Structure 1
C-alpha cells in the first residue's frame, strides 16, 4: 500500500470528517491510500482493502497504519449489478470514485499478440553504484574544466560524454582497477555501476585517477579541443544519494512493504522498511534500477562505436542512411528503447521482472560539412552570387533571408581558423547586411574596429562579400564569421520546425517490415541470442529473452455504419474499413451553388480533370452542386501567388454558397495561407495537389475521400453509427 498526503478542499474535508466521526478541532492529515495488492490494514478501527480503489481517509496526527494478514484470493470484494465494486468498509474512511468492474469479454475474438517487449532474466548479483567526476586540468589548475557541466545542445553534450566515458575506461585499465571478468557501465556523466566492489582498489589512489594528456591514445586526445589542457582527473566515490549497492535479483522485494509508518508531522516523509532490507529509499532505488538496465543494454553498442547515444532511450547508428534528403540534412536509422517493470511468467506473488522495450526510428540530422555547402542546398540558393537583403513594406526582412536565418539559428558551428585553438559556438542568426559592410571590434585595450573581410583575409579562402555573415554572441558582444570558414558540428538533430522545409517525412512501415527492423536493431545492439556475446551482460549475469513476449488480446467486432436510406455498409475485414458502392448516398447531403477552382496550370488540363471527377462523384453521393468556375493565377514567387489568391477571396467575399478549391504543387507551403483566408473571409476551402489533380479520374478512392471531406466541410453528414451496447 502506498499512502501519501493529499490536499482536500474545505468542503470535502468537512464531509469526510462528518462521516469519519473526527471533530473539527482535532488535527488530522488527509491521506490517499492507493495500492495494487490486497493488503489488509486497520486504520482508526476501520478495515480497508486497498486492491479495489483509491481511498481517502483523514488520519488523526499520531495514528499509525498497522499491517495485518493478507486477504485470500477469494476475498469479500464483489462487483455489484451497477458495475461498481462493493468493499467491506466501516465508518472512518470514505470511498471516492471506485473502480469499475472489468469490461465483459463475451463474444470477443481472442487473438495472440506479439509485443516488442523482451523479458530480462537475472541471477543474484550485487551491483555497486559510484559517483563520478571528470575534470580537465591546465598547468595552473587541475580542475579548470568540469566535464559534467557545459552546453546542453546535442553536439557538445555527446562530445563531452564520449570524452568522459573513454577517459574513465582508459583510467580503470591504466591503473588496473578492475579484475579479470569484471565490468563497469558508465553514462558518460556522473553515474557508474560496477559488477564488483572497487573500494579496495580505489583506496590505494584515494578515489582519484589522474592521467597525463600525452599518455592518452589519439582517439581520446582529439576530443580535447583546448591546447592548454595537460591532465585529466577522474574522481570515483561510492554513491551517497541512492543505494550504494543492490542485488539485481531482488527486484520484487521493493513491491513488499510489511510496515508502513506515518510520521507525526505532515512534513515528515512516509517511510518503508523490510525485514531483509533496512533503511532503503525505495523510490530512489527504483530509479537506480531503471537507470542500470537502461545503461547496460546500451553499453556494448555505444562503446563499440556502432551507435551514438542521445539519452538513455535514444540511440542512432553512427553512419547515415544512403537516401539523399538535401537541405543540408541526412537521415540516421536508430532505436527507441526503454525499460518497464512487468508481471513475470511465474505464478508467484509480487512477481515483477524488468523488460526491454525496443522500437525502430529514423531521425533527421544536420550534415557535418561546410556551412556554405548546406546553405547552397536550400531552394533557390544554389547559384546565387548576390544574396537578397531586401525588406518588405512593413520593414521586415524578405522571406528568403528569414528562411536562412531560421536555418542557421541554434546550430552549433566549428571555426578552425588559422591558429591551433578551434572555436565552437551556437549561432544566433545571420547579418542583415552583406559581410563587406560589417565591422568587428578587436579584443584589445584600444577596442579597434576592423572590417570583417580584413579580419579573415589571411585564411586564403575566397569569401563572397555579398553574402551575410553568421552572428555569434560572446559575453554580450556580437562577432561575425564568414559561412565559408564554418563547419556544421556533427551529431545535431534537426528540430521538427526545421524539418518542414524538407517535406519528406518517411512513411510508417508495415508491421512485418517494422518487426524485421526491430530484430535487426536487437542484433546491432548485441542483445540477440540471449545476449551471450555481450561482455557487459555476461559480467552482471543478465540474459535477454530469445523471443519477444506474446500476450492474449480481445478484438471486438467493428461497429456498423449506415449511409443514406439506412443502407448498411459492409466491413472489409482485411483492410478494416467500410466499403462504399458507387451509388452510395450520404445521410445528409450538402448543397453548394458555385465552386471556384483556383489553379496555375496554363494548359487548363488539371482543373478540367477536377471538374469532371467531382461532378460525377457529387451526383452519385447526392451532393447538390451548381456551376464550376475556373480562375488562373500566375505561378511565381510565393508572395505574388498569395496576393493573387487573396484577390479571389476579396472578390467573392459576399457569396452565400461557395466553395474554393486550390490546386497547388505538393512541395509548396500554401496550405497555411489558404486556411488563413478561409478564416478571414469565412469561405470554405479545399486544397488538392497538382499530382492528384492529374490522376483524379483514375483514382476513384482518392476522389471519394476528397468528396467525403468536402461534404462535411459544407455541413453535410456522411454516415451514422448504428447504436450498440458494449463496454
Structure 2
C-alpha cells in the first residue's frame, strides 16, 4: 500500500500553470456545399426534447482517502481527480463510488435532494437544489478500503462556482466558436442521467466511464461470443453514446444522442501471471527464458498489460484495489539470476523477496517481469507475485494469433443488421428509453438528406480515361487500367531474392512481362536463393552494386518483414516483398500481378494515373497529412508519428516519413516543426518550390474535439514558425482540418423499408453537424464487408475562409482516389492514408532495432530519429512505403 500511495501522490504533483487555450475562435462556419446528387440517409442520432425550465445543479466532488504511514503520520490521496487510464482509473472510480454510497447514508441533505447522479469522479448533478449553507464535508469511518493502514475517507461537495445552475433553456451556451467558452454542463448532466440505468444494471460493466458492456449477450441474436484459449481472451458486446448540440433541422440547434455498437476483446480478470503464461504454452515451463521463442511470444502478447502486486501468502487472489499497479514492459532473467543493489550490496530478486517479505518463490528459475508503476522506476518482479488487473481491453499489438481478423469478422455486420443490433444493445444496456426522468424525451432516429459528390476524372497515358460509372460493375468506383502508366519508370538493376524457398521458374519473366505491359522499361533481374540468416548480406551486396530494388519472395511462415524493412532503412536500398504462396499463383492471378506492378512503379518514383480535379489541379499547393498508428497517453515506449505530403516531383505524388516522439497526450505538437522542415526541403528540391508553396492544406487524423483549441492556437503557430524558417515573409494561405473516425455517428442509405451502405462520395454537412464549426462527414470508400463508417472533418483554422464547403469536400474526396496502388478510392484522403502507413513502418523499425538510450537508460530521441528514420536517406525522396 505504501508503494501505491507513493505512486498516486506523484501523479498529483502540479505542473507550472499554462496559458489557457480555447479563447481564440476557430475558423468561422461557412455555408454547406450547394452541389451534389441528393440522397436520403437514416442515422443513429435521436433528438432529445428537454422539458423547458428544468433546472440542473452541478456540484464539484472531492473524494479523499487517508492512510497511515510507517512513521505514524497520515498520507492523503484524492481519487476523484486522478488523471489515470485503464485499471487505475477503474480503481479510482470504485473508491469514489464507495465513499459516495456511505455519504448518502450519513448526510440527510443528500438523501432528500431527490434525483442525484454522480459520475464517480469529480461531478455530481441534481434536479433539485441541495440544502447547502456551505460545502458538505462528510467523514466516512467505515472501512471502505481493505488496506490494513486505511484510516478514513472524506467526501466533500460544493456548488460549482462558474456553472452551478443550468436550465434546459440554456442550450445556446453549449456551443461557442471559442471552445473554452462553451458550457458543457447540460449535455454532461444529461449524459449522466441517461447512463443511470446502465450503472445500476448488474449485467453491465462500464469501461472508461462511458462504454457499457453486456456480460451476457445471448439475447443479441446476430453476435456470438468469441473465446480464445490462448490467454483466455473473450469478446464483450456493448454500446456507447454521445450527446451533442447540433445544427438541427431548419438551422434550429438541438441536442441529439447517438448510440453506437461496440465489439471489444478483453483479457480475463484477476488471473495470476504464471497461470496466464501457462495458457499460452499449454502448460507452465518453470525454466522458461525471456530470450526464448516462447518467452518473446508471451512478451508480445502481454506487453503493456497492467498487473497488481499480490504479496499475500494465501493462495486466494487479493483485491487489486489495494495493491500497487504496474505496467508490464517485458521479461528478463530468472529470479535467481536477476540482481540489483540494495543497501550497498548486490542481491538477487529471489533473495530479496525471501529476506524482506519472507516469500520463498515457487518458480525461481522462471523468467521475471520488467514492470513499473506510473511515475516510478523499472522494477524486476517475480511473475508469481503479479495478477492481471480486471476489465482490460486487448490492444492490436497484443493480438498474436488470428484474434484481430476474427474480431473484424464478428463486427462486420451488414447495415440493416448493425442498425437493429445497435438498438437492441442500447435497450439491454439501459439507455434507450423514450423518456428519461420525466423531462428528457428521446425521439426516433433521424432521417437526413445528404449529397453524393461527383467522381474525379482519372486518365492513364495518351489521355486514356478510366471508367468510374460502369453500370455493369459490382462496385462502380473500382476502375480498370485504361492504358499504360501515366509516368512509367525504368527498372534496370534489381534482384529477386528467394528466402528459405526454391527458385520458381517463370516468376521473373511474369513480373518483367507485366511491368513492360504497363509501359515500364525493365531489365531481367538477378536471381538468388538464400537462407533467413543471410538477408543482411543481400543488402550489403545490393548497396555496393547500387541496385534499385530487392524483390523478396518469402514463405508465409517466416516472419522476416520487420527485419527486411529495418535493413532497408539502414542500407537505404528499396525493397518489395510477396509470399512464396502468392508467387506460385502469379501466372493465374492478373489482379495480383497488376497490384504488384502498381506498387513497384510508385516505389520507383512513377505515377500510375492522373486525377483531373479542379480542387487538386493546384500545383503550387502542398497538401499534408499527420497520422499515428499508436495514440499517446497510454501504452509503452515512443510513438511513431507519420507524415506525408505531395512534395515529390508531381503534385499528385505523395512521399513522407516518420518521427519518433515521447508518448504524451499531444503527440503531434512536438514533431510539427521537424516534419515541416523535411517537407519544405524536399519540396524545394523535387518540386522546385524555392519560394515555398502559395497554400498549405493540412490534415490531422484521430484528433478529438477537445484538441481543437490546441490545433487552432498551438499547431498553427508552430506551422507559421516553420514557414518563417524558410523565409521571414513566407505567409502561405493556411487551412488546417481535423479528421476522426472516433465518433458515434452512423449513417445508412435508405433502401425502401431497409437500409444499405452509402455510396462513395456521400457527404453530410448540415443538420447533424456543429452549429458553430464548419464540419462534414464523408464516406469516400466502399465497405467490402459490414457497414461503412464515415470520417468526420472539421475546419479548425483557415487564414482565408471559403465561401462554402464545396472545394474542401471535393478536395478531400478526390484525394481518396490518389492511392495509386489499388484502383479504387480509400477510406481517408491519401496524405492521411500514407502518413498512417509511414507511422506503422516507423513502429516496425523501432520494434526490430529498439530506441537509442543514454547511459541512464533514457531514450535519446534526436539520435533515435537520426539512426532509425529516413530523413537523411535517398529513399526519403521516394514513396518507399508504397
TM-score class, shorter? 0.5 to 0.7
The answer to whether the 8 Å contact 2:301/2:397 transfers is: no
Residue in structure 2 matching 1:518, options 401, 419, 422: 422
Match of 1:339 in 2: 243
Residue in structure 1 matching 2:412, options 493, 509, 519: 509
Match of 1:702 in 2: 592
5 Å-filtered alignment, 1:65-464, equals: 103-105=33-35, 108-124=36-52, 125-136=54-65, 144-148=76-80, 152-169=84-101, 171-172=103-104, 182-199=114-131, 207-211=136-140, 213=142, 224-229=145-150, 231-239=152-160, 241-252=161-172, 286-311=183-208, 313-317=210-214, 322-324=226-228, 326=230, 330-345=234-249, 347=250, 351-368=252-269, 369-376=271-278, 384-388=285-289, 404=299, 407-408=302-303, 411-418=306-313, 423-427=323-327, 429=329, 432-438=332-338, 451-452=351-352, 454-455=354-355, 462-464=362-364
Match of 1:661 in 2: 551
Q: Which runs of 5+ in 2 are unaligned?
A: 1-22, 218-224, 616-805, 808-882
SS of the residue aligned with 1:528? coil
- Deviation of the 1:357 alpha carbon: 3.0
Residue in structure 2 matching 1:467, options 347, 367, 373: 367
The answer to whether the 8 Å contact 2:511/2:593 transfers is: yes
Q: Distance in 2 between matches of 1:722 and 1:285?
A: 42
SS of the residue aligned with 1:117? strand
Q: Give yes or no for the alignment of 1:588 onto 2:487.
A: yes
TM-score normalized by the length of structure 1: 0.65
Q: Give per-residue Cα distances to partners, 1:304-325, cap 9 Å, x unaligned.
A: 2444444455454557952428
Q: Distance in 2 between matches of 1:211 and 1:256?
A: 41
Q: Distance in 1 between matches of 2:24 and 2:366?
A: 70
Q: Give yes or no for the alignment of 1:487 onto 2:387.
A: yes
Q: Give per-residue Cα distances to partners, 1:229-283, cap 9 Å, x unaligned.
A: 46544333332x23222212431367799xxxxxxxxxxxx9xxxxxxxxxxx96
TM-score normalized by the length of structure 2: 0.55
- Deviation of the 1:191 alpha carbon: 0.7
- Higher mean alpha-carbon deviation, 323-332 vs 225-234, is at 323-332
Residue in structure 2 matching 1:716, options 591, 606, 631: 606
The answer to whether the 8 Å contact 1:328/1:373 transfers is: no
Q: Distance in 2 between matches of 1:673 and 1:556?
A: 43
Q: 1:476/1:584 Cα in 2 relative to 1: closer, same or farther (>3 Å)?
A: closer
Q: 1:110/1:284 Cα in 2 relative to 1: closer, same or farther (>3 Å)?
A: closer
The answer to whether the 8 Å contact 1:595/1:629 transfers is: yes
Match of 2:514 in 1: 617
* Higher RCO (CA-CA < 8 Å; seq separation 6+): 2
If you compute each CA radius of gyration, which structure gives the higher value, 1 or 2? 1
Task: Report the structure, 1 or 2, having the larger helix content.
Answer: 2
Q: 1:208/1:516 Cα in 2 relative to 1: closer, same or farther (>3 Å)?
A: same
Q: Distance in 1 between matches of 2:24 and 2:328?
A: 51
Match of 2:437 in 1: 538
The answer to whether the 8 Å contact 1:131/1:190 transfers is: yes
Q: Distance in 2 between matches of 1:678 and 1:469?
A: 33
Q: 1:101/1:692 Cα in 2 relative to 1: closer, same or farther (>3 Å)?
A: same
Q: Give per-residue Cα distances to partners, 1:40-64, cap 9 Å, x unaligned.
A: xxxxxxxxxxxxx97xxxxxxxxxx
SS of the residue aligned with 1:119? strand
- Higher mean alpha-carbon deviation, 151-160 vs 405-414, is at 405-414
Q: Distance in 2 between matches of 1:466 and 1:155?
A: 26
- Deviation of the 1:111 alpha carbon: 0.9
Q: 1:577/1:705 Cα in 2 relative to 1: closer, same or farther (>3 Å)?
A: farther
- CA-based RMSD of the aligned residues comes to 4.7
Match of 1:9 in 2: none
Q: Distance in 1 between matches of 2:164 and 2:357?
A: 58
Q: Distance in 1 between matches of 2:521 and 2:348?
A: 76
Q: 1:385/1:328 Cα in 2 relative to 1: closer, same or farther (>3 Å)?
A: same
- Deviation of the 1:454 alpha carbon: 3.5
Q: Distance in 1 between matches of 2:213 and 2:114?
A: 27
The answer to whether the 8 Å contact 1:529/1:546 transfers is: no
Match of 1:569 in 2: 466
The answer to whether the 8 Å contact 1:171/1:211 transfers is: yes
Q: Give per-residue Cα distances to partners, 1:652-692, cap 9 Å, x unaligned.
A: 32445643222345676533432343344443321223453
Match of 1:551 in 2: 448
Q: 1:439/1:661 Cα in 2 relative to 1: closer, same or farther (>3 Å)?
A: closer
- Higher mean alpha-carbon deviation, 416-425 vs 567-576, is at 416-425
- Deviation of the 1:192 alpha carbon: 0.3
The answer to whether the 8 Å contact 1:528/1:546 transfers is: no
Q: 1:509/1:588 Cα in 2 relative to 1: closer, same or farther (>3 Å)?
A: same
Length, aligned pairs only: 569
- Deviation of the 1:161 alpha carbon: 0.6
- Deviation of the 1:158 alpha carbon: 0.8
